[in-house]
Structure 1
Amino acid sequence: MNKKIFISYAHEDEVWRERIVKQFRVLPDIDIWDDRRISGGEKWFAKIEDALKSTKIAILLISADFLISEFIKKEEVPRLLERHEQEGLVIFPVIVRGCLWRRVPWLAEINARPRDGKPLLGMSEGQWESELAAIAEEISELLDETSESLEPEPVEVDSPKKEQPTFEEKTPDRPSPGGISESSVTIGQVTRSGETGRDNTAGGAGDSGTVSGYAQLELPTAGDKWTDPITGMEFVWVPKGCFRMGSNDGEADEKPVHEVCVDGFWLGKTQVTQSQWREVIGDNPSGFKGNDRRPVESIAWNDTRSFIKSLNRRSGYRYRLPTEAEWEYACRSGGKDEGYSGGDNPDRVAWYDENSGGETHPVAQKAPNGLGLYDMSGNVWEWVQDWYGDDYYANSPRNNPQGPSSGANRVIRGGSWYWSASFARAANRRRDGSGLRGNVLGFRCVRVHDPSR
Structure 2
Amino acid sequence: MKFVLLPAGEFFMGSDTSVETLARSYPQYERKRFEELSDEAPVHKVKITHAFYMEQHEVTVGQFRRFLDASGYMPESEADGSGGYGYNPDYDPAKSLRGDAFEGRNIRYSWRDPGFAQGDDHPVVNVTWNDAVAMCKWLTVTEGKKYRLPTEAEWEYAARAGTRTQYYTGDDPQSLLAAANVFDTDAAKNWSRWQSYALPGSDGFAFTAPVGSFAPNAFGLYDMHGNAWEWTADWHDDRYYANSPVADPQGPESGSVRVRRGGSWHTWSFYARSSYRNWNAPSTRYTLVGMRLVREAD
1:277 aligns with 2:105: no
Amino acid at match of 1:372: G
1:352 aligns with 2:182: yes
Quote the offset at 1:356 in angstroms. 5.2
Tell me the SS of whatever aligns to 1:266: strand
Q: Measure the CA separation in 1 of the matches of 2:186 and 2:9.
A: 33
Aligned to 1:364, which of 212, 223, 227? 212
Aligned to 2:15, which of 247, 266, 286? 247
Tell me the SS of whatever aligns to 2:250: coil
Aligned 8 A contact 2:152 2:234 in 1: yes
Amino acid at match of 1:394: A
> How do 1:396-411 residues align onto structure 2 when only pairs under 5 Å count?
396-411=244-259
Specify the alignment match of 2:54 in structure 1: 267
Change (3 A) 1:240 1:286: farther
Specify every segment of 5 or more residues in structure 1 that has no aligned partner in the other structure, as ranges: 1-232
Q: Measure the CA separation in 2 of the matches of 1:400 and 1:355.
A: 39
Q: Measure the CA separation in 2 of the matches of 1:438 and 1:295.
A: 13
Change (3 A) 1:293 1:305: same
Specify the alignment match of 2:124 in structure 1: 296
Aligned 8 A contact 1:274 1:296 in 2: yes
Specify every segment of 5 or more residues in structure 2 that has no aligned partner in the other structure, as ranges: 18-33, 75-110, 188-205
Specify the alignment match of 2:77 in structure 1: none
> How do 1:314-329 residues align onto structure 2 when only pairs under 5 Å count?
314-329=142-157
The size of the alignment, in residue pairs, is 217
Amino acid at match of 2:134: S
Tell me the SS of whatever aligns to 1:386: strand
Change (3 A) 1:289 1:319: farther
Amino acid at match of 2:52: F
Q: Measure the CA separation in 2 of the matches of 1:355 and 1:447.
A: 36
Tell me the SS of whatever aligns to 2:157: helix
In the TM superposition, what whole-angstrom CA distance separates every residue of 1:231-286 from its partner, at most 9, and x where no partner exists? xx100011111111000126211000000111221000010001111111138535
State which structure, 1 or 2, has the greater radius of gyration over its C-alpha atoms: 1
Aligned to 1:309, which of 108, 124, 137? 137
Quote the offset at 1:343 in angstroms. 3.4
Q: Measure the CA separation in 2 of the matches of 1:356 and 1:382.
A: 22
Aligned 8 A contact 1:242 1:259 in 2: yes
> How do 1:4-15 residues align onto structure 2 when only pairs under 5 Å count?
none
Q: Measure the CA separation in 2 of the matches of 1:309 and 1:330.
A: 22
Q: Measure the CA separation in 1 of the matches of 2:288 and 2:113.
A: 10
Amino acid at match of 1:332: R
Aligned 8 A contact 2:182 2:266 in 1: yes
1:382 aligns with 2:230: yes
Q: Measure the CA separation in 1 of the matches of 2:151 and 2:169.
A: 20
Quote the offset at 1:353 in angstroms. 1.1
> How do 1:140-151 residues align onto structure 2 when only pairs under 5 Å count?
none
Quote the offset at 1:349 in angstroms. 1.2
Tell me the SS of whatever aligns to 1:281: helix
In the TM superposition, what whole-angstrom CA distance separates every residue of 1:316-371 from its partner, at most 9, and x where no partner exists? 222000000000000001x3213213434211211111155331111111110001
Specify the alignment match of 1:336 in structure 2: 163
Aligned 8 A contact 1:383 1:410 in 2: yes
Identity of aligned residues (%): 44
In the TM superposition, what whole-angstrom CA distance separates every residue of 1:290-326 from its partner, at most 9, and x where no partner exists? 4111000001101101111222222222200000000
1:257 aligns with 2:43: yes
Change (3 A) 1:356 1:239: farther
- Note the aligned Cα RMSD (angstroms): 1.5
Q: Measure the CA separation in 2 of the matches of 1:296 and 1:348.
A: 22
Q: Measure the CA separation in 2 of the matches of 1:311 and 1:286.
A: 24
Change (3 A) 1:432 1:400: same
Quote the offset at 1:398 in angstroms. 0.3
Specify the alignment match of 2:275 in structure 1: 427
Q: Measure the CA separation in 1 of the matches of 2:290 and 2:256.
A: 19
Q: Measure the CA separation in 1 of the matches of 2:139 and 2:45.
A: 33
Ranked by relative contact order (alpha carbons within 8 Å, sequence separation 6 or more), the top structure is 2
